[in-house]
Amino acid sequence: MSVTTSKLRSPVKPMVQPRAILCSTGNRFTVTKPEITKKNKPEMLPRVTKSPRSNFSDDYSSSSSTSSVKTTNSGKFITPPSKRNTVAAVVDNSPEKPGPVKRCHWITPNSDLVYVLFHDKEWGVPVREDKKLFELLVFSQALAEFSWPSILHKREAFRKLFEDFDPSAIAQFTEKRLMSLRVNGCLILSEQKLRAIVENAKSVLKVKQEFGSFSNYCWRFVNHKPLQNGYRYGRQVPVKSPKAEYISKDMMQRGFRCVGPTVVYSFLQVSGIVNDHLTTCFRYQECNLETEEEPKSPETATELDLHSPLLV
């Protein structure tokens, strides 16, 4: 009887771990990536954004900054020397924005452009020409009825109607001529102011005979040198002064009309006899420089000796 023997075979077991595959660089395990589905999709970390105040470029990511930027015990960051130039270049390229120009308190961001130019170019600049001084005196009187912007917009009409503010011509105005000084059918000023302008023109002619010019008469009250008040705040600037009161009385004794202390002080301010720009205004120092560079005429020196002003 023949006995047949059979080899026992172990059952095949499923592979749990990946098999080793011989690669060119050695034995490594290659694992196939599992398919990503909605169920096993990993949660995404929130994206880190740079602070708007950061001056670092894109090269300074969270990973690189962790390895290259060191911190001290106080918690301050120390930028590596190799990257300091890059940071400095970013900071230096930012343009500097100049601050707004500081002007007197009566100029606001909503002020008329004509009014702003008047402040920047004319107001407070020393005036020594007779016609210009008489024009500014008339405008100072007109402030009782109009504002400076309104007067400036009508300045060319004033000059045309008043013969470019020539005192010799205005002194010859008749009543009929005065009533014809109209703009758009209305008198450019009240009848009282118009008659005062004619009388003041006659008084200017008398002053010129005594002092040589209307300019010498006006400037003698300050010894031919502008007064520098040096106010810092607008509330400190007065509407009149003892000096203006004294000049007002002297002018009224000489036949001038409508020249109260308030009108006279406005005239002193606009003609530069008094520098009332605020010390914080950019025109304060400029007007001082213009006064220092202004040459003194021989006539002024003569008048200074002959007519010594009474300082109040």
Annotated binding residues for Zn(2+), written as ranges, equal: 104, 119, 277, 281
Burial label for 51, CB within 10 Å (0-12, 13-18, 19+), is: exposed
227-228/274-275 β-pairing: parallel
DSSP three-state, residue 267: helix
What's the length of the chain?
312
- Amino acid at site 59: D
Say which amino acid occupies 49: T
| Rounded Cα distance, 165 and 225, in Å | 25
CB under 8 Å, gap of 24 or more: what pairs does 262-266 form? Answer: 263/140, 263/141, 263/143, 263/144, 264/140, 264/240, 265/238, 265/239, 265/240, 265/241, 266/140, 266/143
CA distance 300 to 144: 32
Rounded to whole angstroms, the Cα distance separating 111 from 117 reads 10
Q: Which long-range contacts (CB under 8 A, 24 or more apart) does 296-299 make?
A: 296/224, 299/212, 299/213, 299/216
- Burial degree of 49 (CB within 10 A; 0-12, 13-18, 19+): exposed
Distance CA 76, CA 65 (A): 14
Note whether 115 and 149 are within 8 A (CB).
yes
H or E element that contains 97: none
Binding positions = 104, 119, 277, 281
